[in-house]
């Protein structure tokens, strides 16, 4: 395969974003506002872990160097992780988590809708399966944004602040680099500039239903395509990778 390296990088980006967000959502376990939400957030987390595992296994197969899903997840440092910046944002309060969810889920929904048509059969099948899952994720986050936005004065104020805070990480979702250019030309990857208006339309309609205000576009943080992250990621990885790092010879 000619553009194997670009394809591997592309899969890492998707897989890492799922993994890091899954790890974040799992932190809600026993901390949800009600048991039903512990269960719902765990469901989403489990779906995302599943997605990352599929892509890591595919990467291992593409590289053919004896890697495993675990060596890929637990063996890399923060400067080799390509997850989008939103995925590593701390959970904050429930409203922060829900808004982060909406922004990522809306992206994933449109991204996987289009990736189903990828000429790479593995990615197309992966997208088809993932779309079913993220459709539910998007419904979950949208309904909660509406409830919180149109709930009480307090919840409206909180969730509006979450939206304003997280907005500055949204352009990072749509960054494209040389890998995208090569793979888009081959019909494998998705042109993210075409996704952006669809994403904005979905987010805008939820924000409107929630009686919230769409933030102004100010300064936008980027960097995930170059694996340049916030300080939060290193701590998340420390925690996640501790046993594999401490006992490299052990099988679990």
Partner 1 sequence: MSDLDKFLKKIENNVKIEPKDWMPDGYRKHLQGQMSQHAHSEVIGMQPEGNWISRAPSLRAKVILLAKIQDEAGHGQYLYSAAETLGKSRDEYINELQTRKAKYSSIFNYPTLTWADMGAVGWLVDGAAIVNQVSLQKTSYGPYSRAMVRICKEESFHQRQGYEIISHMALGTPEQKEMAQDALNRTWWPSIMMFGPHDADSARSGDAMKWGIKVESNDELRQRFIDKTVQQAELIGLTIPDPDLKWNEERGSYDFGEINWDEFWAVVNGDGPCNDQRIDHHIKAHEEGRWVREAANAYAQKNN
Q: At its nearest, how many Å lie between partner 1 and the CB of residue 136?
A: 15
Does 169 sit near partner 1 (CB under 8 A)? no
If one asks whether residue 93 binds partner 1 (CB under 8 A), the answer comes out as yes
Instruction: Name residues contacting partner 1, limited to 94-113 (CB under 8 A).
Output: 94-95
Number of neighbouring beta carbons within 10 Å of residue 67: 16
Task: Name the residue nearer to partner 1 (CB basis): 64 or 152.
Answer: 152
- For 126, how many CA atoms within 13 A lie in the half-sphere containing its CB? 26
Contact in structure between 156 and 212 (CB atoms under 8 Å): yes
Three-state SS at 107: helix
Binders in 233-252 for partner 1, by CB under 8 A: 239-240, 242-244, 247, 249-252
Q: Which stretch binds partner 1 (CB under 8 A): 93-101, 164-172, 173-181, 213-221?
A: 93-101
* Residue in 233, 198, 238 with CA at minimum distance from that of residue 86: 233
Residues in region 35-64 near partner 1 by CB under 8 A: 35-39, 42-43, 45-46, 49-50, 52-53, 56
Q: How many residues bind partner 1 (CB under 8 A)?
A: 49
User: What value does the CA radius of gyration of the chain take, rounded to a whole number of Å?
Assistant: 18
Task: Give the Cα separation of 48 and 210 in Å (integer).
Answer: 26
Are residues 117 and 125 in contact, defined by beta-carbon separation less than 8 angstroms?
A: no
Read off the tokens for 31.
Answer: 């901390």
26 binds partner 1 (CB under 8 A): yes
Q: Which of 128, 150, 165, 175 binds partner 1 (CB under 8 A)?
A: 150
- Provide φ and ψ at 55, rounded to 5°: -70, -35
Compute how many other C-beta atoms are within 10 angstroms of the C-beta atom of residue 151.
Answer: 15
Stretch that binds partner 1, among 112-120, 128-136, 143-151, 165-173 (CB under 8 A): 143-151
Residue 197 touches partner 1, criterion: CB under 8 A: no
- The C-alpha atoms of residue 57 and residue 47 are separated, in whole angstroms, by 16
- Per CB under 8 A, the segment of 65-73, 122-130, 186-194, 199-207 that binds partner 1 is 65-73
Token pair for 126: 């992966």
Interacting residues toward partner 1 by CB under 8 A: 23, 26-27, 29-39, 42-43, 45-46, 49-50, 52-53, 56, 69-70, 73-74, 93-95, 146-148, 150-152, 154-155, 158, 239-240, 242-244, 247, 249-252
């Amino acid at each position: 395969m000619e553009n194997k390296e670009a394809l591997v990088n592309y899969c890492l980006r998707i897989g890492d974003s799922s993994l890091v967000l899954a790890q974040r959502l799992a932190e809600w376990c026993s901390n949800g506002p009600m048991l039903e939400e512990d269960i719902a957030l765990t469901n989403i987390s489990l779906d995302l872990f599943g997605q990352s595992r599929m892509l890591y296994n595919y990467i291992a197969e593409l590289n053919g160097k004896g890697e495993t899903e675990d060596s890929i997840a637990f063996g890399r440092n923060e400067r080799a992780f390509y997850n989008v910046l939103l995925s590593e944002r701390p959970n904050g309060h429930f409203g922060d988590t829900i808004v982060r969810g909406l922004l990522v889920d809306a992206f994933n929904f449109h991204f996987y809708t289009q990736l189903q048509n990828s000429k790479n059969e593995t990615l197309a099948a992966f997208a088809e399966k993932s779309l079913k899952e993220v459709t539910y994720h998007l419904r979950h986050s949208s309904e909660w944004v509406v409830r919180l936005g149109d709930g009480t004065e307090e919840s409206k104020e909180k969730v509006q602040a979450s939206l304003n805070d997280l907005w500055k990480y949204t352009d990072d979702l749509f960054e494209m680099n040389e890998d995208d250019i090569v793979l888009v030309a081959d019909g494998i990857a998705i042109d993210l500039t075409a996704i952006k208006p669809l994403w904005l339309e979905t987010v805008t309609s939820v924000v409107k239903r929630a009686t919230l205000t769409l933030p102004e576009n100010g300064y936008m943080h980027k960097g995930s395509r170059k694996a340049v992250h916030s300080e939060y990621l290193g701590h998340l990885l420390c925690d996640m990778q501790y046993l594999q790092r401490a006992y490299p010879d052990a099988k679990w």
